[in-house]
Structure 1
């Protein structure tokens, strides 16, 4: 992480954070933070608790421990509270409206601001089209007719319509060809320039570490390693576990 980011205030802080499914604890007393203007990735094997962590941080699952946003503790975290604080989640399944056009999907993404009286959705749509020119080309197409990469771009673009300060992404590379993964993650990296912080959950460790500032390695619900992403990219334990022959092949 570059030195400037270390001096930025913490946007999202999770302290002593645990998430359980009934009696089973999926995430165990972890500490994670995302600073303003930072891209933080959480990598780890399948079933490590990565998606659970995101869902709980978004208020979709009950959690224990402390969540702060902009230094203010959030009591009984709910989706509504997180959306009101300008946090957006792009879930793994993308959850687009297939029978609606690209443009209408984007408009729905901005609905929370429209309801607050902000009628600048055409300006926000221009900003999204500037980030994803291909969505502009496909504006009138039904979302169901898009390629996998375009659907992922639309899912991110729809989240950006709400002008989030923090964007949480769950497995954006899932099911995409390597070239498209690079393209999507390059866009994610560029969001920093638009003042958006990113918490990225990824199974493609190599791709995630290349775009992130900092990384946490989650194993069996615990943070096994954390540090600057570029250091972890060259960490022998990470190379052996995630970036070895299988990692390179994937």
Structure 2
């Protein structure tokens, strides 16, 4: 498989506090890779550093090309898009206008395919077609998340990085959103998924990294980690196993 993203010995500090310690991570084309871990583990910091939003030490490569000084513009130019945890939508703009902004980089490069891209987004998220003239501030939480992902897709990314897409959403909507995330591979898009909802993330991912206190504590196939006793005890809870297999409680 072709390696799409490679991070090696990534370190990030906030002043005197080191938030990431020599994190090494890779993602192949066509893969969904998830990063799970508790609050404060450094998951969001990892994505922000990979996107060039935070200064970092270490090496970062996209499709074999080393990016000496990661920046948002450099990453976007190489087909990387980030959907932040807060979604960062323009509330007083319509769904359609928010989507058009997502395609601005391509428009600036002379690629006038925004209408075609929007139709592709509407195919993925039919509800956005129904809401196209609606102000984004009036959308439900699930619809705002769909719009945030759709806006990122307008840039036609090779790699989509998602920060906590399930945050604040009802379980039914979480399943709907992650089902779409899983389907993005059919559109030629690889995904780096940061999630606190470990069970949901492991069910859609191919591989996973467990981040604890800014360092990679465990990595492996998502299916294996979904049944790993350490992950079950720490992140999934006793309910992840059949009742007869649950450990006795003292």
Same fold (TM over 0.5): yes
Residues 1:162 and 2:165 aligned together? no
Pairing partner for 1:130 from 123, 128, 147: 123
Q: Tell me the residue number matched to 1:98.
A: 91
Q: Please give the alpha-carbon distance, in whole angstroms, between the structure 1 residues aligned to 2:152 and 2:130.
A: 19
RMSD, aligned CA: 1.1
The runs of 5 or more residues in structure 1 that have no matched partner are 1-7
* 1:187 shift after superposition: 0.2
Pairing partner for 1:79 from 52, 72, 86: 72
Could you tell me the TM-score, scaled by structure 1's length? Answer: 0.95
CA deviation profile, 1:84-126 (whole Å, cap 9, x unmatched): 1110000000000000000000000000000100101111000
Residues 1:31 and 2:48 aligned together? no
Q: Tell me the residue number matched to 2:55.
A: 62
CA deviation profile, 1:38-69 (whole Å, cap 9, x unmatched): 00000000000000000000000001010000
| Residues 205-224 of structure 1 aligned to structure 2 (within 5 Å) | 205-224=198-217
Q: For 1:124, what is the secondary structure of its paired residue?
A: helix
Q: 1:14 to 1:140 in 2, by over 3 A?
A: same
Q: For 2:134, what is the secondary structure of its paired residue?
A: coil
Q: 1:247 to 1:25 in 2, by over 3 A?
A: farther
Contact 2:232 2:238 (8 Å CA) reproduced: no
Q: Tell me the residue number matched to 2:168.
A: 175
Q: 1:36 to 1:60 in 2, by over 3 A?
A: same
Q: Please give the alpha-carbon distance, in whole angstroms, between the structure 1 residues aligned to 2:240 and 2:40.
A: 17
Pairing partner for 1:51 from 44, 48, 60: 44
Contact 2:32 2:193 (8 Å CA) reproduced: yes
Could you tell me the TM-score, scaled by structure 2's length? Answer: 0.95
Q: Please give the alpha-carbon distance, in whole angstroms, between the structure 1 residues aligned to 2:54 and 2:238.
A: 35
Pairing partner for 2:226 from 229, 233, 238: 233
Residues 1:189 and 2:188 aligned together? no
Q: Please give the alpha-carbon distance, in whole angstroms, between the structure 1 residues aligned to 2:58 and 2:101.
A: 33
The alignment covers a number of residue pairs equal to 241
Q: Please give the alpha-carbon distance, in whole angstroms, between the structure 1 residues aligned to 2:210 and 2:231.
A: 9
The runs of 5 or more residues in structure 2 that have no matched partner are 242-250
Runs of 4+ displaced beyond 3 Å: 245-248
* 1:247 shift after superposition: 7.7
Residues 1:147 and 2:154 aligned together? no
Q: Tell me the residue number matched to 1:14.
A: 7
Larger radius of gyration: 2
CA deviation profile, 1:167-218 (whole Å, cap 9, x unmatched): 0000000000000000000000000000000000000000000000000000
Q: Please give the alpha-carbon distance, in whole angstroms, between the structure 1 residues aligned to 2:215 and 2:231.
A: 15
Q: Please give the alpha-carbon distance, in whole angstroms, between the structure 1 residues aligned to 2:238 and 2:98.
A: 40
